[in-house]
Amino acid sequence: MATMTSIPLPSSSSSLHLNIYSSLPTFSPKHTHDHVPCWFRPTRQRLSSKTLPRGLRIRNAATKPAKSPAEEDWKIKREYLLQKKVRSVDVKEALRLQKENNFVILDVRPEAEFKEAHPPGAINVQIYRLIKEWTAWDIARRAAFAFFGIFSGTEENPEFIQSVESKIDKNAKIIVACAAGGTMKPTQNLPEGQQSRSLIAAYLLVLNGYANVFHLEGGLYKWFKEELPSVTEE
């Protein structure tokens, strides 16, 4: 009867792997990755400030810019407004203060809304404006607005404080107004009040050194509803 002779096999898969490449040149471990020869791997070069030409910088335009003061959490803005004793006034008191105490009404609505109707003597500096830039980030924001059927998306006006300073003295008494008004008063449904454009504007004014800032409770919607004086512009 014929006898069968056993043939020894490699003790592990790693031994088999080495036998397969035994006829190939030998490389040190630093030249391989996960047992894959280096000539199978594409080379990759990391760009850094040292490898870039002078004056050239890489910028990802689709990345959201850093948070601005206007984008701060409402809770923080509200606490700061209360700390600085920013007081809300109703529309009739605002009219009286404007007539008798030379208070300035700062209307922060878009210019088009301001021209349709506004309190006599009010000064307009819009806190938000139509999106102007065309970076990848701005295009993405336009698309997001368009998704909700809004084709005139807005962004924070970076020249808001600069424009206010060119029109209103730092010592002036200012009543900030927008359409809805918002409120700092807590309610059962809104324990921290309701943020609005005028409250955001008031926050920015106080941050930038305006000490006599007031807020129009109920907004210009209530002003017009009460049939208080208003003017239009062509």
Residues in the chain: 234
Please report the pLDDT score of residue 132 as a whole number: 57
**Distance of CA 80 to CAs 58, 83, 119, 197, Å?**
37, 5, 28, 16
Please report the pLDDT score of residue 67 as a whole number: 73
Residues of the chain with pLDDT under 50: 1-7, 9-45, 47-53, 55-62, 134, 137, 142, 145-152
Comparing CA positions, the residue from 215, 214, 209 lying closest to residue 171 is 209
Please report the pLDDT score of residue 35 as a whole number: 44
Please report the pLDDT score of residue 129 as a whole number: 74
178 assigned to active site:
yes
3-state SS assignment for residue 131: coil
Please report the pLDDT score of residue 38 as a whole number: 42
- What is the C-alpha to C-alpha distance for residues 141 and 186, in angstroms, rounded to an integer? 32
| Chain centroid offset of residue 104 CA | 29
- What is the C-alpha to C-alpha distance for residues 89 and 220, in angstroms, rounded to an integer? 12
Q: Beta strands 128-130 and 87-89: pairing type?
A: unpaired
CA angle 65, 203, 207 (to 5 degrees): 80
Q: Which among 81, 94, 125, 178 is annotated as catalytic?
A: 178
Contact, 215 vs 86, CB < 8 A? yes
